[in-house]
Structure 1
Amino acid sequence: MDTSLILLLLAALAVVQLVLAVWLLARRQPAPDHSELLSVLSAMGAANERTERELRHEIGESSRGARQETAQAFATFQQALVQQGAEATRTQNAQLDAFSLQLASLQKTLADTLNTQLQGLSESNARRLSEVRATMEAQLAQLQQSNTAKLDEMRKTVDEKLQSTLEARLGESFKQVADRLEQVHKGLGEMQTLAVGVGSLQRVLTNVKTRGVFGEVQLEALLEQVLTPEQYAKQIETKPRSGQRVDFAIRFPGRGDDGAPVWLPIDAKFPRDDYERLIDAHERADAPGAELAAKALEARIRVEARSIAENYLAAPHTTDFAILFLPVESLYAEVLRRPGLMDAIQRQHRVTLAGPTTLLAMLNSLHMGFRTLALEQQASEVWKVLGAVKTEFERYGEWVSRIKEQVAKASDTLDKADTRAKQMRLALRKVEALPEAQSQVLLPPTADSEGGDTP
């Protein structure tokens, strides 16, 4: 019997007993017999006990049957579960074997694909590396050739400019010297012509001021004829704080840090009275008078030379010597006839005598010196330009060295990548490669690889 049915019967029996008890209590009898009731209740209790024992017996029997059925069902379920587990194990083993076969095949395919791609990548890298090296070597060779050509062209241009400039300046200077010499010869002829008019000139030069102006005018004419206005000055104080101004002074470039010029004083003197007495004595054939006039002229020249040295010479502001200009060639010739006069003046007072022709030759020499100095300055500027070009070329060489280092670093990196690819190829040598189609499906190429593979 089922346990629920037994419990239901027990509940129904209890209800019946409760109803009977209620019914007995509800009956109204005048003299109830409690003994009968007690016997009935005792009988009912005994019946209930019997029923209870029977029910307990039935419940125990049913429980043992249910336990046996449950144990049997559990054993059956366990056996079915074991059978299903064994079946599932066999199925899983079969699936694992199949999956292992597929995985091995896939691994082989993947290894072959990777090996193929790595081999292609290695070949592509080697090809690109060789192309990069060839390109860089060609560019470096072209760059070196271009630099060599440019340097040769620059050197040739500088040499041509220097040669042409030097030839032009020297040719121009020699031409000017020839012109000046021709003018000197013409001047000598003109001086001989002017000697005829000395008498009329003597009447003009009647006072000291007129004689001084004549010498200054002739000296200024000679300076203007040879030098530029920037190369000389007029009425300038060559000795600082002396208050004495020389007629003319030639400007030389200074050697000091302040850039102050160095002056060459030139003072014009014309001792007309002594010169006229000497000429008169010669015309009268008066030898003692000519000698006395010549000594007076010599003394006058010495005084003028000492005055020039004291008033106008002050080294290093001036040169070590000055020039005393005699504006008449005949006067200069008479002074030169005095034995030892010119040497004594140069030695004692550092003054050089000069007539018109001699001063013109001196000025031409100074002009040539100025032009030579200008050429030296231009040559120094050219050398500075060449020095700057050399500096830039050295800097350019440093840039080329840096580019060469960068190219060497890139080459080392590519060599390392090539070595790494070879190592990976050796590691994947035992793995079989997949066909190209399967490798493309498993490992689709990227845009970079597609673009890199194209030449």
Structure 2
Amino acid sequence: MEPLAFSFDQPLFQLASLPITAGHLVAAAALLMALVAIAAGRRARSLRIDERDGQISALLAAQTELQGRIATMAEVFGARQAELNQTLSQRIDGMTHRIGASISEQTKATHENLRRLQERLAVIDSAQNNIQALAKDMAGLQNILSNKQTRGAFGQSRMEAIVADGLPISAYTFQATLPNGARPDCIIRMPNGQPPLVIDAKFPLESWNSMRDAPDADRRQQAAQAFRRDMEVHVRDIASKYLLPGETQETAFLFVPSESIFAEIHEHFEALVQKAHRQRIVIVSPSLLLLSIQVIQAILKDARMREQAHLIQGEVIRLMEDLSRLDERVRKLQGHFAMAQKDVDEILISSNKLTRRGARIETLEMEATAPPGPSEKGERAVDNRMGQLKLRVVDED
């Protein structure tokens, strides 16, 4: 059996005079399908366009609403930002003011601290300069004390300064000569014809420095014994040369030019001090010599007061005479004042009488004054009245 042959060109039927083939049908179907597809696509596109227009409208509405909300939010944010800016500005201004005040106070405090620091530095510089000057003085003092003659001159000059500062020049003499030919460092003239007081400033400083500079205890002990011997010899020399009966006081001063040496002598050489006291030699430091000079000054002043007592008594008598004359003159002046007061009182009485009489006359004139009348009787009455007033005034006088 042969297979069935199919051809698209084979007419299937005839429509009017136009033969319709399978190809025509296929083409028509394809065209129809294409038209349907196109129509469906257009409809879909139209639907999509409508939907898109609706979405766009919704989007536009949403965008408008969003823009409104954004504008509202922008206004709110703007107001909030303005408030925030104002608040921040106020806080920044307050903080700036506080910081400025704090910086100003800190600056003042810093300046004050710097000023105090400068003052302290100035004090420190001054103290340092004083220390340097003191160091130079100590070096000079060391140089002075290294020489025996210079050491004696140092003690002599210090003693002379204390005596000269406390007493008048007529009350003392340096390097005076005693009747036995000895020459003490100073004699002080006592009042009331008493013998002078002798002061010696030749302290054995060499032995003391040797004892102080000894390197060990044994040498220090040896130097201490040498110092004790030198002091005993010096005390005996003062007692024998300067204590002259009837020419000097029974006691003499041995001047020690240092308070520390004086204290150590009394602390470590008490037996030597007691031995000097038994020989009527008093070891004195600068402060004790100054105190003794002040006591002597008071004694001299009291003696001068007693010497001038008769002059003072005469002055007191003359003063009492002047007071008596003054009292007499005051009493006379009081009598003059009393008489003047009496005269003033009498003058016041007379003036009061005159015032009263003037007032009475003025009152009577006012009462006697009347309006003028044409009759002579009225004039005679007025004249009689005035005459009576004059008589009354004369009677009162």
TM exceeding 0.5: no
Relative to the length of structure 1, the TM-score reads: 0.38
TM-score between both structures, scaled by the size of structure 2: 0.43
